[in-house]
Structure 1
Amino acid sequence: MHYMETTLWNKAMKLAELACQSVTQLPGEERYGIRLQITRAAVSVASNIAEGWTRESKKERSHFLAVAHGSLSELHTQLSLCSRLGWLPSELLETPFGLIDEISRMLTTLRQRSRNG
Protein backbone atom coordinates (compact mmCIF):
# COMPACT_ATOMS: atom_id res chain seq x y z
CA MET A 1 0.00 0.00 0.00
CA HIS A 2 1.27 3.45 -0.90
CA TYR A 3 1.56 5.84 2.06
CA MET A 4 -0.83 8.29 0.37
CA GLU A 5 -3.55 5.65 0.66
CA THR A 6 -3.16 5.26 4.41
CA THR A 7 -5.52 6.74 6.95
CA LEU A 8 -2.53 7.69 9.08
CA TRP A 9 -0.83 9.84 6.44
CA ASN A 10 -4.10 11.44 5.37
CA LYS A 11 -4.90 12.40 8.96
CA ALA A 12 -1.38 13.80 9.34
CA MET A 13 -1.83 15.85 6.17
CA LYS A 14 -5.16 17.20 7.43
CA LEU A 15 -3.46 18.12 10.70
CA ALA A 16 -0.68 19.92 8.82
CA GLU A 17 -3.25 21.87 6.80
CA LEU A 18 -5.11 22.92 9.94
CA ALA A 19 -1.92 23.85 11.77
CA CYS A 20 -0.64 25.94 8.86
CA GLN A 21 -3.99 27.70 8.59
CA SER A 22 -4.28 28.35 12.32
CA VAL A 23 -0.90 30.09 12.63
CA THR A 24 -2.13 32.93 10.48
CA GLN A 25 -4.04 34.07 13.58
CA LEU A 26 -0.91 34.35 15.71
CA PRO A 27 0.52 37.76 16.59
CA GLY A 28 2.70 39.20 13.82
CA GLU A 29 5.78 39.23 16.03
CA GLU A 30 5.55 35.43 16.21
CA ARG A 31 6.09 35.04 12.45
CA TYR A 32 9.60 33.65 12.98
CA GLY A 33 9.05 32.29 16.46
CA ILE A 34 6.42 29.75 17.42
CA ARG A 35 4.63 30.13 14.08
CA LEU A 36 7.63 28.69 12.26
CA GLN A 37 8.04 25.91 14.84
CA ILE A 38 4.38 24.91 14.49
CA THR A 39 4.51 24.67 10.72
CA ARG A 40 7.78 22.74 10.78
CA ALA A 41 6.49 20.24 13.36
CA ALA A 42 3.19 19.76 11.53
CA VAL A 43 4.90 19.16 8.19
CA SER A 44 7.43 16.87 9.88
CA VAL A 45 4.71 14.52 11.14
CA ALA A 46 3.33 13.77 7.67
CA SER A 47 6.77 13.83 6.03
CA ASN A 48 8.29 11.32 8.44
CA ILE A 49 5.30 9.01 8.15
CA ALA A 50 5.78 9.07 4.36
CA GLU A 51 9.52 8.52 4.61
CA GLY A 52 9.16 5.70 7.12
CA TRP A 53 6.51 4.02 5.00
CA THR A 54 8.89 3.80 2.05
CA ARG A 55 11.83 2.36 4.00
CA GLU A 56 12.56 -1.30 3.51
CA SER A 57 14.07 -2.21 6.86
CA LYS A 58 11.96 -2.39 10.00
CA LYS A 59 14.63 -0.51 11.92
CA GLU A 60 14.54 2.46 9.53
CA ARG A 61 10.75 2.41 9.38
CA SER A 62 10.58 2.43 13.17
CA HIS A 63 13.04 5.31 13.36
CA PHE A 64 10.98 7.56 11.09
CA LEU A 65 7.73 6.66 12.84
CA ALA A 66 9.40 7.57 16.14
CA VAL A 67 10.51 10.91 14.68
CA ALA A 68 6.95 11.54 13.45
CA HIS A 69 5.65 10.74 16.94
CA GLY A 70 8.15 13.15 18.48
CA SER A 71 7.14 15.91 16.06
CA LEU A 72 3.51 15.25 16.92
CA SER A 73 4.29 15.79 20.61
CA GLU A 74 6.14 19.00 19.76
CA LEU A 75 3.15 20.24 17.78
CA HIS A 76 0.77 19.41 20.62
CA THR A 77 2.97 21.30 23.07
CA GLN A 78 3.26 24.34 20.80
CA LEU A 79 -0.47 24.53 20.12
CA SER A 80 -1.19 24.06 23.83
CA LEU A 81 1.10 26.96 24.67
CA CYS A 82 -0.63 29.17 22.11
CA SER A 83 -3.96 28.28 23.70
CA ARG A 84 -2.66 29.03 27.21
CA LEU A 85 -1.31 32.38 26.08
CA GLY A 86 -4.62 33.23 24.43
CA TRP A 87 -3.00 33.49 21.01
CA LEU A 88 -5.25 30.82 19.49
CA PRO A 89 -8.86 30.27 20.58
CA SER A 90 -9.59 26.85 22.06
CA GLU A 91 -12.43 26.21 19.60
CA LEU A 92 -9.96 26.58 16.73
CA LEU A 93 -7.79 23.86 18.28
CA GLU A 94 -10.48 21.25 18.98
CA THR A 95 -10.10 19.49 15.63
CA PRO A 96 -6.28 19.62 15.59
CA PHE A 97 -6.13 18.26 19.16
CA GLY A 98 -8.52 15.46 18.16
CA LEU A 99 -6.34 14.58 15.18
CA ILE A 100 -3.22 14.67 17.35
CA ASP A 101 -4.83 12.15 19.68
CA GLU A 102 -5.88 9.86 16.82
CA ILE A 103 -2.52 10.03 15.07
CA SER A 104 -0.67 9.41 18.32
CA ARG A 105 -2.73 6.27 18.98
CA MET A 106 -2.13 5.03 15.44
CA LEU A 107 1.61 5.66 15.66
CA THR A 108 1.78 3.92 19.04
CA THR A 109 0.04 0.86 17.60
CA LEU A 110 2.28 0.77 14.50
CA ARG A 111 5.42 1.17 16.57
CA GLN A 112 4.37 -1.59 18.99
CA ARG A 113 3.59 -3.95 16.11
CA SER A 114 6.97 -3.17 14.59
CA ARG A 115 8.77 -4.00 17.86
CA ASN A 116 6.77 -7.17 18.46
CA GLY A 117 6.55 -8.42 14.91
Structure 2
Amino acid sequence: MSKIERFEEIQAWQKARLLVKEVYSISNTGGFVKDFGLRDQIRRAAVSIMLNIAEGFARKTNKEFIQYLVIAHGSAAEVQAALYVAFDQEYLSEAEFDKLYGSADNTSKMVLGFINYLRKAQ
Protein backbone atom coordinates (compact mmCIF):
# COMPACT_ATOMS: atom_id res chain seq x y z
CA MET A 1 0.00 0.00 0.00
CA SER A 2 1.42 3.37 -0.93
CA LYS A 3 1.72 6.04 1.72
CA ILE A 4 -1.36 8.19 2.11
CA GLU A 5 -0.41 11.85 1.95
CA ARG A 6 -3.82 13.49 2.42
CA PHE A 7 -6.99 12.38 4.16
CA GLU A 8 -8.89 12.88 0.89
CA GLU A 9 -7.04 9.83 -0.46
CA ILE A 10 -8.57 7.54 2.17
CA GLN A 11 -11.28 5.42 0.56
CA ALA A 12 -13.34 5.34 3.75
CA TRP A 13 -13.35 9.17 3.80
CA GLN A 14 -14.42 9.25 0.15
CA LYS A 15 -17.25 6.83 0.90
CA ALA A 16 -18.27 8.90 3.93
CA ARG A 17 -18.36 12.02 1.77
CA LEU A 18 -20.81 10.31 -0.60
CA LEU A 19 -22.92 9.21 2.36
CA VAL A 20 -23.08 12.81 3.61
CA LYS A 21 -24.23 13.95 0.19
CA GLU A 22 -26.96 11.29 0.17
CA VAL A 23 -28.09 12.10 3.72
CA TYR A 24 -28.29 15.83 3.00
CA SER A 25 -30.22 15.18 -0.20
CA ILE A 26 -32.82 12.87 1.34
CA SER A 27 -33.20 14.97 4.49
CA ASN A 28 -34.25 17.95 2.35
CA THR A 29 -37.42 16.13 1.29
CA GLY A 30 -40.73 14.99 2.71
CA GLY A 31 -41.30 14.74 6.43
CA PHE A 32 -37.61 15.21 7.12
CA VAL A 33 -37.96 18.90 6.26
CA LYS A 34 -40.14 19.56 9.32
CA ASP A 35 -38.41 17.17 11.74
CA PHE A 36 -35.55 19.50 12.60
CA GLY A 37 -34.21 17.33 15.42
CA LEU A 38 -33.90 14.14 13.43
CA ARG A 39 -32.71 15.95 10.33
CA ASP A 40 -29.98 17.71 12.30
CA GLN A 41 -28.98 14.54 14.16
CA ILE A 42 -28.61 12.32 11.09
CA ARG A 43 -26.69 15.04 9.27
CA ARG A 44 -24.33 15.60 12.20
CA ALA A 45 -23.75 11.86 12.54
CA ALA A 46 -22.93 11.50 8.84
CA VAL A 47 -20.63 14.53 8.87
CA SER A 48 -18.97 13.16 12.01
CA ILE A 49 -17.75 10.16 10.04
CA MET A 50 -15.90 12.38 7.56
CA LEU A 51 -14.56 14.75 10.19
CA ASN A 52 -13.25 12.04 12.48
CA ILE A 53 -11.43 10.29 9.66
CA ALA A 54 -9.80 13.58 8.68
CA GLU A 55 -8.94 14.60 12.24
CA GLY A 56 -7.58 11.17 13.10
CA PHE A 57 -5.38 11.21 10.02
CA ALA A 58 -4.00 14.60 11.05
CA ARG A 59 -2.93 13.21 14.44
CA LYS A 60 -0.07 11.39 12.69
CA THR A 61 0.03 8.35 14.98
CA ASN A 62 -1.74 5.07 14.34
CA LYS A 63 -2.90 4.87 17.96
CA GLU A 64 -4.70 8.22 17.82
CA PHE A 65 -5.92 7.62 14.27
CA ILE A 66 -7.53 4.36 15.37
CA GLN A 67 -9.32 6.17 18.22
CA TYR A 68 -10.85 8.61 15.76
CA LEU A 69 -11.75 5.83 13.34
CA VAL A 70 -13.57 4.03 16.16
CA ILE A 71 -15.60 7.20 16.72
CA ALA A 72 -16.30 7.41 12.97
CA HIS A 73 -17.45 3.78 13.05
CA GLY A 74 -19.82 4.63 15.89
CA SER A 75 -21.16 7.60 13.95
CA ALA A 76 -21.96 5.30 11.04
CA ALA A 77 -24.04 3.15 13.41
CA GLU A 78 -25.76 6.33 14.60
CA VAL A 79 -26.70 7.15 11.00
CA GLN A 80 -28.12 3.65 10.61
CA ALA A 81 -30.17 3.95 13.80
CA ALA A 82 -31.51 7.36 12.71
CA LEU A 83 -32.51 5.84 9.39
CA TYR A 84 -34.76 3.43 11.27
CA VAL A 85 -36.43 6.38 12.99
CA ALA A 86 -36.91 8.10 9.63
CA PHE A 87 -38.29 4.93 8.08
CA ASP A 88 -40.66 4.31 11.00
CA GLN A 89 -41.94 7.87 10.69
CA GLU A 90 -42.48 7.23 6.98
CA TYR A 91 -40.00 9.91 5.92
CA LEU A 92 -38.29 7.30 3.72
CA SER A 93 -39.57 4.65 1.39
CA GLU A 94 -38.25 1.14 1.87
CA ALA A 95 -36.06 1.56 -1.23
CA GLU A 96 -34.62 4.84 0.10
CA PHE A 97 -34.01 3.26 3.49
CA ASP A 98 -32.28 0.25 1.94
CA LYS A 99 -30.07 2.43 -0.25
CA LEU A 100 -28.98 4.75 2.55
CA TYR A 101 -28.59 1.95 5.07
CA GLY A 102 -26.41 0.09 2.57
CA SER A 103 -24.27 3.17 2.00
CA ALA A 104 -23.83 3.65 5.74
CA ASP A 105 -23.04 -0.05 6.15
CA ASN A 106 -20.43 0.02 3.37
CA THR A 107 -18.85 3.12 4.90
CA SER A 108 -18.82 1.46 8.31
CA LYS A 109 -17.17 -1.66 6.90
CA MET A 110 -14.50 0.41 5.17
CA VAL A 111 -13.73 2.27 8.39
CA LEU A 112 -13.57 -1.00 10.32
CA GLY A 113 -11.30 -2.51 7.68
CA PHE A 114 -8.98 0.47 7.98
CA ILE A 115 -8.96 0.11 11.78
CA ASN A 116 -7.96 -3.54 11.43
CA TYR A 117 -5.24 -2.65 8.92
CA LEU A 118 -3.77 -0.01 11.22
CA ARG A 119 -3.89 -2.31 14.24
CA LYS A 120 -1.91 -4.95 12.36
CA ALA A 121 0.63 -2.30 11.31
CA GLN A 122 1.36 -1.37 14.95
Instruction: Return the TM-score normalized by structure 2.
Output: 0.85
Runs of 4+ in 1 over 4 A off after TM superposition: none
Identity score, percent: 30
Query: Which ranges of structure 2 fall in alignment gaps of 5 or more residues?
Result: none
**1: distance between equivalents of 2:81 and 2:93?**
15
Q: How does 1:24-63 map to 2 (within 5 A)?
A: 24-27=28-31, 28-31=33-36, 33-63=37-67
Question: Residue 46 of structure 1: CA displacement?
Answer: 0.8
Counterpart contact for 2:45–2:78, Cα < 8 Å: yes
Q: Aligned to 1:107, which of 99, 105, 111?
A: 111
Counterpart contact for 1:26–1:35, Cα < 8 Å: no
Question: Residue 26 of structure 1: CA displacement?
Answer: 4.4
Q: Provide closer, same or farther for how the CA distance between residues 106 and 81 of structure 1 changes in structure 2, counting only shifts above 3 A.
A: same
**1: distance between equivalents of 2:111 and 2:9?**
16
Counterpart contact for 2:23–2:42, Cα < 8 Å: yes
Q: Number of aligned pairs?
A: 116
Instruction: Return the TM-score normalized by structure 1.
Output: 0.88
Residue 89 in 1 paired to residue 93 in 2?
yes
Computed over aligned residues only, the root mean square deviation of the Cα atoms, in angstroms, reads: 1.5
Query: Which ranges of structure 1 fall in alignment gaps of 5 or more residues?
Result: none
Counterpart contact for 2:11–2:110, Cα < 8 Å: no
